[in-house]
């Protein structure tokens, strides 16, 4: 199932942004999809985080060095959490304008 999590999100340095949580339902795999429209920082880092209670979040995978354009990093499998969300952070100073989503599936 695809979930759009950001359409034109402005991510600035020193202020991490978090997406809404997405239920995994019966899925155990997740793939990030991100498009960076504008980047004045060095790069963007996007973490996929997982939680079973929506209070305590753990890192599933970290995608670093994302620059302007479209990217769909490697799918994360064996995800044992009930929910996932994205954490966006800037490397360097500046900002990024981002669209992002996740595909969840059973593997």
Question: Which CATH number goes with the domain that contains 52?
Answer: 2.60.120.1110
Spatial distance between the Cα atoms of 56 and 29, rounded to a whole number of angstroms: 20
Spatial distance between the Cα atoms of 47 and 30, rounded to a whole number of angstroms: 12
Q: In this structure, what token pair is assigned to residue 100? A: 């992002």
Q: In this structure, what token pair is assigned to residue 85? A: 């969300």
Please tell me the total count of domains within the chain.
1
Q: What is the CA radius of gyration of the chain?
A: 13
DSSP summary character for residue 19: P
Whole-Å CA distances, 66 to 12, 26, 55, 60, 62: 14, 29, 27, 17, 11
Question: How far, in whole angstroms, is CA 74 from its chain's centroid?
Answer: 12
For residue 66, the enclosing domain spans: 2-105
Whole-Å CA distances, 33 to 5, 44, 56, 92: 10, 13, 24, 22
User: pLDDT in tens for each of the 107 residues of the chain?
Assistant: 999 999 999 999 999 999 999 999 999 999 999 999 999 999 999 999 999 999 999 999 999 999 999 999 889 999 999 999 999 999 999 999 999 999 999 98
What pTM did the predictor assign? 0.94
């Amino acid at each position: 199932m695809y979930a759009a999590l950001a359409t034109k999100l402005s991510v600035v340095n020193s202020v991490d942004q978090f997406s809404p949580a997405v239920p995994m339902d019966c899925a155990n795999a997740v793939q990030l999809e991100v498009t960076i429209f504008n980047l004045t920082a060095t790069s963007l880092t996007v973490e996929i985080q997982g939680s079973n209670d929506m209070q305590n979040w753990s890192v599933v995978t970290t995608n670093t060095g994302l620059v302007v354009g479209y990217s769909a990093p490697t799918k994360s499998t064996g995800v044992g959490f009930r929910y996932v969300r994205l954490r966006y952070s800037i490397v360097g100073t500046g900002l990024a304008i981002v669209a992002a989503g996740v595909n969840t599936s059973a593997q």
